[in-house]
Amino acid sequence: MSRYSSLATPVAAGFIFIELDRVHIESRKTAIVMRKLLTTGFVLMLLFSQSLKAQQPNMIDDLREARLDSLLNEVVFDDDDLSYLFGLKKNFQFLYWRSSFDSRTFFAGREIGTQQHNLSGQLYYLHSKGFYAGISGAWYSQLEPGYRTTILTGGYSKSLKKMDFLRYRLSYDYFFFNNDEPEFDPLYTSGVNAGITLKSKSLGTRFDAYFLLGDDVGTTLSWDAFAYLDLIRLGTYDKIRLEPEVSLYFGSELVEYQLNEVIIDPVTNIGYDYYYDDAFGLMNVQLQLPLNIKYKNFDFEAAWIYNLPQTMGDGASYDESSFFRFSVGYIFSL
């Protein structure tokens, strides 16, 4: 449960006050003292809950931004077609560089900022035995600071000998933050990812579980189904193709729930018909239509991406949205 969720019960004091007010108190003096204490505590809870309601959008935004960098590390070594670049060598190693531009910024279909674009970069070392390590980061046009996090990654990815259509992976990320403010306290400082991929020559599916670690623990799950549709062959290995993909993203979010009745404070006549709590479930369905060009050691991609965010709880709903992504990659043989 998020550390924010401990603040998510502003109506509890209302129930306590109403129930205690019905209890028969034999001592009038004790009753007066108890009533004063409860009234004082109730008023403080009311003031606190009003502050919580005012801070709620900021807390949700902060939580999404804290989890935003976890989306930087996409699967980078999940395309066995890369092996053709190294001939028939059993052991090969290479560097893979990639840079991407997104026209808008989202976390699980929830927009971060307004028309905020971002630019990310990745540099990975990969070995044919399955070991890899890399560094990645991103710049956001509306966040302060714009460049916020550097991520170091180490992992292992391998296909099974007798089941080469199945690939498994495990990786660890560590976050370095570009923020010198004394009060800055990152919610997450590292992450662990585990996943598997099943694929044929033209179809595939992928499942990943990602665990954010730090002052809190965050869990996200994703499932992807994708296809390869060759359009034009430019040579033996070079090609232009479509790579359509549909993804389901599961995670947790601080959401609002409606009560069946309004709880009214008898002193101030302020009513509450909601409360906040963490919820885990389907957050977004994403459709991707990338056009990919593989030419020699280059990898170019232009993608149109469509979000269908899912609402959890009884809180605000989210509009469907779309954005464009452009990326270029290059493989250096070592």
| Average pLDDT value for the chain | 76
What percent of the chain lies above the pLDDT cut of 90? 36
Give the start-to-end residue ranges of the domains of the chain. Answer: 58-333
- Residues 133, 137, 138, CA angle at the centre, nearest 5°? 155
Residue 183 DSSP SS3: coil
Tokens representing 113?
């900022």
Greatest mean pLDDT among 57-61, 91-95, 144-148, 320-324 lies in 320-324
pLDDT band for position 236 (50/70/90)?
A: confident
Provide the pLDDT for residue 35.
Answer: 44
Structure confidence by residue, pLDDT tens digits, 127-154: 888 889 999 999 999 988 899 889 999 9
Give the pLDDT mean for 310-328. 86
- For the domain made up of 58-333, the CATH class stated in words is mainly beta
pTM score above 0.95: no
- Other C-beta atoms lying within 10 Å of the C-beta of residue 294: 21
Q: In angstroms, rounded to a whole number, what is the distance separating the alpha carbons of residues 207 and 194? A: 9
Provide the pLDDT for residue 100.
Answer: 93
Give the pLDDT mean for 213-218. 87
Provide the pLDDT for residue 62.
Answer: 63
Classify each residue of 240-275 as buried b or exposed e, where b means 16 or more C-beta atoms within 10 Å of its C-beta.
ebebebebbbbbbbbbbeeeeeebebeeeeeebebb
Tokens representing 185?
């306290």
